Amino acid sequence: MADLEKKANEAFIDDHFELAVDLYTQAIALDPTNPDLFADRAQANIKLNKFTEAVADASKAIELDASLAKAYLRKGIACMKVGKYENAKAALEAGTSLVPGESRFTNLIKECDELIAEETGESENHAADAQVNIVSRKDAVPEDTSSQAPMVIPSKPKYRHEFYQKPEEVVVSIFAKGIQASWVTAGFGEQTLSVSIEVPGEDGYHFQPRLFGKIKPDECKYNILSTKVEFRLAKAEPGLHWASLEYNKQTAVVQRIAVSSGKCRVMRCISQGSGLDFGTKLLKKPTYPSSKPKRVDWDKIEAQVKKEEKEEKLDGDAALNSFFRGIYQDADEDTRRAMKKSFVESNGTVLSTNWKEVGTKKVEGSPPDGMEMRKWEY
């Protein structure tokens, strides 16, 4: 059994978490009353994002040895990752009583309190109560503050983080140099990202935001690079723009990004027989993927172009060029490449925003009979 446990520990250190789970399971079969085996298998299951199994293993370890602090820690982490913040807090509080002052417990308990407050709306109630107290004390007799404890200023986060997004995913980077895989524990919930970085000999770093939108936990992943840890969160609703990384009631109204693989045929046509100007024809309204927070109102732009052409405030070709310059300037690199290639190869009759569709083949196209095409300049 000792040999199996040693091999399991080595597999875990080498980031072979599935092998570690298998070896711990074999060791447990030989010694089913060993709490350390269950606690260690719980940690391996956390690494594999198997949080339900991790909670079960940690609970069994606590049942076998109620003084095993690491079992409470791992149960707390696993519960947080599945959104069971009350259960997580209870486990963490029990664990911190065994190791008073341990930063990993105190930091996670604080995160639990914040998440619970967000869910129940207690944050607003506390703010309102504080405001009432401030007003009621304006005319009160000043208190003797000489014996009061000094104000504690929150310390600066150990690592800086930032994010950017695409229509299908959100990419979060935590800038930490020289991090080893065994120091990182990450989990993905329906609307949570949970990260713990435990560098030996240093205070732990914990980051667990309630995300702006929902994600697909099974499709999320992370990579450990030389200067950062990068997390890729698959959006549950592709095309939904996140106004921020973390959920905030002030930014709860979201914007949807129009994503389309369709083509836009643009024709500036003049009848060769009569010389009549038929104006700008949009056979399909253009849509394109973008992660920029700026929202483009295509209906408004199209209406404005038509109005200006009608009132002769803007020449027809100038209106067309202005309209599509706006599309091109706000597009991503693949969209621009698709627009260029489709327009050139079709002799100006097809304008596609889908690089996957037009990138591997020649775009065919020709103007309608009796019409001539005028070039759009981007």
pTM beyond 0.75, yes or no: no
The highest-confidence range among 274-283, 310-319, 332-341, by mean pLDDT, is 332-341
pLDDT score of 101: 82
Mean local confidence (pLDDT), 132-155: 46
Confidence class for position 310, pLDDT limits 50, 70, 90: low
Of 374 and 164, the one with more pLDDT: 164
266 token code pair = 């643009």
pLDDT score of 337: 85
Q: Report the alpha-carbon distance of residue 13 to residue 250 in Å, rounded.
A: 43
- Cα atoms found within 13 Å of the Cα of residue 120, Cβ hemisphere only: 12
Q: Report the alpha-carbon distance of residue 131 to residue 336 in Å, rounded.
A: 52
87 token code pair = 């259960």
Grouping H, G, I as helix, E, B as strand and the rest as coil, residue 298 is: helix
Average model confidence (pLDDT) across the chain: 75
Mean local confidence (pLDDT), 231-246: 91
pLDDT tens, position by position, 195-228: 999 988 888 888 888 898 899 999 999 999 989 9
Mean local confidence (pLDDT), 172-197: 91
Return phi, psi of residue 139, to 5°: -100, 10
Eight-class DSSP state of 94? H
Neighbours of 256 (CB within 10 A): 12
pLDDT score of 108: 92
Return phi, psi of residue 280, to 5°: -90, 130
Q: Is pLDDT above 80 for 124?
A: no
Q: Is pLDDT above 80 for 37?
A: yes
pLDDT score of 134: 46
pLDDT tens, position by position, 52-111: 999 999 999 999 999 999 999 999 999 999 888 989 999 999 998 898 888 889 899 999
pLDDT score of 240: 87
pLDDT score of 228: 92
Backbone region of residue 321 per phi and psi (left: phi > 0; alpha: psi in -120 to 50; beta: other values): alpha
Q: Is pLDDT above 60 for 154?
A: no
22-31 LR contacts (CB < 8 Å, sep 24+): 27/1, 30/1, 30/4, 31/1
pLDDT score of 281: 39
Q: Report the alpha-carbon distance of residue 56 to residue 159 in Å, rounded.
A: 32
pLDDT score of 222: 94
Q: Is pLDDT above 60 for 303?
A: yes
Q: Is pLDDT above 50 for 266?
A: no
Return phi, psi of residue 175, to 5°: -85, 100
Confidence class for position 126, pLDDT limits 50, 70, 90: low
Q: Is pLDDT above 90 for 45?
A: yes
Percent of the chain with pLDDT over 70: 66
pLDDT score of 54: 93
Return phi, psi of residue 281, to 5°: -110, 125
Range from 14-23, 95-104, 220-229, 328-337 carrying the lowest mean pLDDT: 328-337
